[in-house]
Structure 1
Amino acid sequence: MYEASREFVNRSLYLLAEVGDVIALNYPRNQLKRTVDLALKNKESRVILVKLAYSTSLIGKSEREELKGLSSTLKVNSFIVAERKGDIKLVDGVVYDYEGSKVISVETLINSLEGDLPVIYEDRDNFKVKVNGEKLRQKRELKGYSLGTMARLAKVSRKAIYDYERGSIKPTLDVAERLINELGEDIVASIDIFDPSEEILSGSKPSHGTDFDDQMEVEMVRRLRGLMLDVCHARRAPLDICLSGSNLRALVTISHGGEKPKDFNDKVTNMLRMAKSIKGEGFVVVEPSLRELAKELNEPEKVFTLEEFIDFIGGKVAEKTDSHNWKARNRKDNTGSDNSK
């Protein structure tokens, strides 16, 4: 299976590069132990994070939790792109669920890049179809069907039809087929895999990544959360910490000591590449005694000690907060309110 996975990864990278902007992330070097293999942009420069594997069974729980953590913290959708979910071959045009991780085939991803988005998704033990509730109601009323008549034709309850139209639930595949037969295919809605607010993709429980490696990470996360920022820790990606909030989005690579300069430079290079792809910032944090390490890096101006980094981020948060407060006051001024008191 490992050889099949290597072939699948190489083929997928080639095919995706033909239709999208692929930002390859090659750290760690062992692809099977890597949380994320690439960031992928569509024509509108919207980005997703991708983990490639022939089968989902090749991806450990730690890698999946990290990928979910990066996704939820950075507000960027993430997918496992695979040939199989366990022993089952993936069907194109379907978004699968694997213990909270979203899984699609490479063909589904290619089609999505070309504008042909999926409409079917797995929800627990059922496959469902995303429908446009308002369109469903309009078509039902245009046909002159009451809720009861539509329920009878679809072989569901009146409440189910009511809930489909409100968007609170989605029909299973067999029910959707009956609705489409009566009302037409335009009641179906696409699942926008590039949209972080897509309701179908936001149902899984968020993750905070994996356990910390050392006390510096513990202290950094504690202080960043004290600034009301969302934070996630990673071990199997080119970053150690990611954070977001106050219109900030940043990746941080930490020197734990003992790394070979070339290996650490590779890690930082991949981190900065990933940060740029998600329109975020990238930083390196080192112990004061390792300040000389900055000279070995391509962008030494991005290197901070922990204290310098917290001060820097704290300043950015304060700056963003002051800007937000100024805009709020300005909006009040424009309403004619007296703010001179």
Structure 2
Amino acid sequence: MAKKPQILLLAAPETSASVLYGLYDVLMSVGAVYLDMVIGKPGDELLDVKIVTANGKPFRCIGNIPVEPHAAIGDVETPDAVIVCDMYTTIYDVPHGRYPREIAWLKAIHAGGALLSSVCSGSLLLAEGGLLDDHRATAHWAYRDMFQRHFPKISFQTESVLCLAAEGDRIVTAGGVSAWHDLVVYLIARFCGYQVAIETAKVFLIGGHAEGQSPYAVMTRPMESNDGPITGSQEWIAEHYATANPVEKMVERSGLNPRTFSRRFRTATGFAPIEYVQALRVEEAKQMLEMDQISNDDVGAAIGYDDPASFRRVFKRGTGMTPAAYRKKFQRIARIAQPA
């Protein structure tokens, strides 16, 4: 019998049980469960799936859920693929130096021919190891600023749920924790074929995230405590985002010349001033579209856009969806969360 493709799940105490065990359940079922459900007779498992950690010892992951790894990373040969599960860190806490053994191992097995993939914050390990340098990559949208500040050689793709830009170099990154759905379908198709991937998706009702991350992304707005004029501008625009000529007014209030203001604002926030205003307005519009019943044009006017076309253009650029499509999607979620 031919050797099964081996996929290793790299985990740590900072890993979500939903990601680790969700991946494990789906990958272990490939080839077996679909036939069992359709004809009442299980097929052969097509993948060799193992959970690995730095030391191979039992531990508890997020939520105090017990995990018993199959092996330590030093005890396994180069696999066909590794999935770096999410390893949670706050948006302020770059995990430099936290996973040296794991990163060294990832670099070694990648050099040996393994495909590396990551879910959510798992891409931070690939980033720290330099494996994503000069590539486009993704993680959860909340880590955008962290990547831009600490890993400038990486082009962070906020909108992507599954980023295949570095696929040719055997690296694939996935966005938020539920993006493992998209990643697992990709890996099954790659190692077992398209039809098996479709069958597995049918078993688990995995539909993917065709619209990307952008509709879910929320603007992160950390206040820059070391630059008083910029912090003051952030505080002011948070209450006056609908005002006319907002950037001009922020510059006037700051006492800085426009060029200096723009440079310091970008350094502090990661946004150009007008981008910041637009992102803030879109966030306010999203909240209104999610819950309110006023017209789309009235939403645009309420946040500072008298021209409906301008509102639709800015909103779609920020979310990947028109205001009408966004309203339909998230009010449907609201009805599920708050049934009549």
TM-score, normalization by structure 2 = 0.24
Structure having the higher strand fraction is 1
TM-score, normalization by structure 1 = 0.24
